[in-house]
Amino acid sequence: MPANSILVVNAGSSSVKFQVFSIRADNGLTPFLKGQFDGIGTRPRLRATADGKAATVDQLFDLDKVPDVATAMQVAGAWIREKFDLEFAAVGHRVVHGGPRYDQPILVDETVLAELTRLGPLAPLHQPNNLAPINALRARFPELPQVACFDTAFHRGHSAVADRYAIPERFYAEGVRRYGFHGLSYEYVAGRLREIAPDLAKGRVIVAHLGSGASMCALADGRSVESTMGFTALDGLPMGTRPGQLDPGVVLYLLNENGMSADAVQSMLYSECGLKGLSGISNDVRDLLDSSEPGAVLAMDYFIYRVSLNAGMLAAALGGLDAFVFTAGIGERSAVVRRRISERLGWLGAELDGGANDAAAPVISQARSRVALMIVPTDEELMIAKHTLAALVSDRAHDPTLKKIA
């Protein structure tokens, strides 16, 4: 049983992923427990494994017992404390939007929480759910340090031309700018590249975070210089239920000519578009790849086309390309999607090794390929744990030991 632990919480709209990391004497981190509470609002289910072994818990709950994300976190936390009698040094949270103010992880206090709550309209699908566990834990354990880790922070070094929209300056001053998202994933992948392919890591790399939420990032020497996402997580690539790049005139048309309310437009853009909207079948790539329905074929063709189109944009931002990296659920698991995207990158010099791709090898390009094609599994939770521990140690620099907080 770890004596000192970091709890990591990654909360979504209908699920909460969590991990527990034990803190070693050298301030390193060892994964101990991994789980998630999914089906919140429909069929709540808690699952977890400890030390990589068989399921430690797999339990269904009545809907009225776990109606929301905050309750799910309370139930999961109570189970962890009862089962393992852990003492948490701190809790780290994924928070999608840090706005213009927060460019690094930060210990949460009332001021920070109020500012993050104010940013809710910029990420309505994510921010309220990210903050729900923070509020729940603060209510029950007010002395427990909590650290917010931002998906926008990794992109904050962008140049002015990459950061701005061509709109009046006063809006930029208010915070209307291109933030970029999935930063915790890109930060982890950039770090892993320095470990496994240091020469490539110093070069020009595109990372494709392809999952239900999808984006791409251009890295130069491990730093983000451009991203497909902008002001909100609606921008860029088509996603499971979000449209990606969209002419703002479409929104004006829906408001002015279709008579839709702003709330109705927002709901549609976040929940009814993307692969789900195009296919009319599903937002799940696995379902679409298994279907021969015209809508499913169109949705996948569109997804592949848009990824390859944005690859050209990011390669232009980098002035060339040395490596293209697949990560996240679709990028790590779908050999078909990787193959189809890689084939469209041939003009950049990418040559796929079909056997390596089918085997999901770390390098899936041929030896003669001018652009390395790679799979690098992401680990946002480990990145959050590292940031949380660093923030905790920094905050307690006057004390060489980490105090245990139940």
Residues labelled catalytic: 151
Torsion 263-267-268-269 (CA) sign: positive
Q: What span, in angstroms and rounded, lies between the C-alpha atoms of 325 and 204?
A: 11
Under 8 Å between Cβ of 34 and 19: yes
Q: Kindly report the number of other CB atoms within 10 A of residue 112's CB atom.
A: 19
Q: What is the 3-state secondary structure (H, E, C) of 251-263?
A: HHHHHHCCCCCHH
Under 8 Å between Cβ of 54 and 63: no
User: Of 313, 311, 371, nearest to 341 (Cα)?
Assistant: 311
Q: What span, in angstroms and rounded, lies between the C-alpha atoms of 188 and 185?
A: 5
b/e burial code for range 4-21 (CB count within 10 A of at least 16 → b) = bbbbbbbbbebbbbbbbb
Under 8 Å between Cβ of 21 and 43: no
Beta bridge partners of 35: 18, 48
Q: Which 8-state DSSP code applies to residue 405?
A: B
User: Of 275, 305, 306, nearest to 293 (Cα)?
Assistant: 275
Pairing of strands 323-327, 55-60: unpaired
Half-sphere exposure of 44 (CA within 13 A, CB side): 20
Q: What is the three-class DSSP state of 3?
A: coil
CA distances from 188 to 61, 93, 168, 209, 382 (A): 34, 15, 35, 12, 8
Q: What span, in angstroms and rounded, lies between the C-alpha atoms of 252 and 379?
A: 38
